[in-house]
Amino acid sequence: MAIYLLQLLAWSVFIAVLMLWPAGTLAFPGAWVVIAFFVLGGLAMIAGRYIPLLAVLAIAGSLAGKKVSPTGLGTLRTDTPTFGVVLVSVVLIVALLTFVPALLLGPVVQGLSDQLY
């Protein structure tokens, strides 16, 4: 998808240059600004897509290189029911904190009020 957008961007800049070139070396005022806007916008989109991807890969590579530490007293193992309970609890708490304010602003308030809107 990003390659398609890059090709579309390059093609639109190429067409803009071809249309404006015979007018006297891009004599149209602001043509370079528009072209620069599209080029910089495309570069920003590519950077915004691939820089976080490269950062995640760098973090994963550094974690893969670490040696495994032995389990101790403070280790929360992922193959126990305790981990499952903690994981489900965190997911439920985050979901409740996400949806309860919206419910309070909508149907709950309308149900508790005496007037119909």
CA trace torsion 89, 71, 59, 86 (10° rounding): 0
pLDDT at res. 30: 62
Crossing angle between the packed helical segments 2-20 and 31-65, to the nearest 10 degrees: 160
pLDDT at res. 84: 94
pLDDT in tens, the chain (117 residues): 667 777 777 777 777 666 655 555 555 566 666 677 777 777 777 888 889 999 999 999 999 989 888 888 888 788 889 899 999 999 999 999 988 887 777 777 777 777 655
- Of 92, 90, 112, the C-alpha closest to 100 is 92
> Are the C-beta atoms of 42 and 20 separated by less than 8 Å?
no
Instruction: Please list, in sequence order, all residues whose beta carbon lies within 8 angstroms of the beta carbon of residue 45, skipping any fewer than 6 positions away.
Output: 2, 5
Give the span between the Cα atoms of 3 and 13, in whole angstroms: 15
Instruction: Please list, in sequence order, all residues whose beta carbon lies within 8 angstroms of the beta carbon of residue 32, skipping any fewer than 6 positions away.
Output: 26
pLDDT at res. 96: 93
